[in-house]
Amino acid sequence: MKEEVVLITGAGRGIGKAIAELFAEKGYAVALVSRTLIDVEAGASRIVNNGGTARAFVCDVGSSQQVERLISEVNQSLGPISILINNAGVAPSAKIETTTDEMWEKAMATNVSGAFFLSRAVVPGMRSLGRGQILSLASTAALRGYAYTTAYTASKHALLGLTRALAVELEKHKIAVNALCPGFVRTDIVLESVKNIVARTGKSAEEAERDLAKLNEGGKLIEPEAVAWLALQVVQWPQFQTGKAVLMDGTLID
């Protein structure tokens, strides 16, 4: 069977890197996307050296022009995209009164507009294929609020709203649209949050990490590989399911 092409944004590190490696291991052709080529070149080379199919691409997902160019390049080099994983994201942390316009706009551009631009760009090709999947990395912040994360939490709520709207619109075309909602994952974003807590409260890094971990079910930080495994389960669901928010324990929320 010809390899299915999966496009993963934010694929240079953390969750995106783990997803790219797992999907390549399972036989998918992987397009690794990041704003900086150096972040994804090494990952693509590692996958190819291990016998997989991968290409590295540069794109700022907050730019609709760059997204359109990206989709054209992926189609030409790997083939039609059947799976889109919107993983690129930023997580500014600040009190509401110190949340700047730039912080707000960057969170919305990356976390919401990027997912919108990419989804809009891949849908025509998926319609032609007669199937497709769009999976976005949301967060438990899409389902509840967290202090000092106004821009991030608002953007993840918006991302879940985008997911639900697209699911209804695209279901008749056999394009499934879902969102993963993990808690705090051991990524650079969470490590930056730890630094912010240390600076704001004077706690040690270990104490700050424990505080974040307590907000997760089980009281531990989630590893990126666990999120990647769940992403694979979602795209391989034996029955067509769409419009779900998927928690780490597999709970589905309509």
Rounded to two decimals, the pTM is 0.93
Q: 12-26: buried (b, 16+ CB within 10 Å) or exposed (e) per residue? A: bbbbbbbbbbbbbee
Query: 218-250 pLDDT, tens per residue?
Result: 888 899 999 999 999 999 998 899 999 999 999
pLDDT of residue 2: 56
Domains and CATH numbers, the chain: 5-183+223-253 (3.40.50.720), 185-221 (no CATH)
In the predicted model, what is the mean pLDDT of the chain? 94
3-state secondary structure of 130: coil
User: For residue 68, is pLDDT > 60?
Assistant: yes
Tokens describing residue 19: 């997803």
Query: 103-141 pLDDT, tens per residue?
Result: 999 999 999 999 999 999 999 999 999 999 999 999 999
The letter for the amino acid at 191 is L
Query: 31-60 pLDDT, tens per residue?
Result: 999 999 998 999 999 999 999 999 999 999
Q: Of 62 and 238, which is predicted with more confidence?
A: 62
User: For residue 198, is pLDDT > 90?
Assistant: no
Q: What's the gap between Cα 126 and its chain centre?
A: 19
Q: Strands of 132-137's sheet, edge to edge?
A: 53-58, 29-34, 5-9, 81-86, 132-137, 175-180, 245-246, 252-253
**E strand segments, the chain:** 5-9, 29-34, 53-58, 81-86, 132-137, 175-180, 245-246, 252-253
User: For residue 193, is pLDDT > 80?
Assistant: no
Quickly state the pLDDT bin for 1 (edges 50, 70, 90). very low
Q: Which residues are catalytic?
A: 152
Return the ∠ at Cα 232 (arms to 247 and 168), rounded to 5°: 65
The Cα 153–Cα 166 span in angstroms is 20
The Cα 115–Cα 216 span in angstroms is 25
The Cα 252–Cα 254 span in angstroms is 7
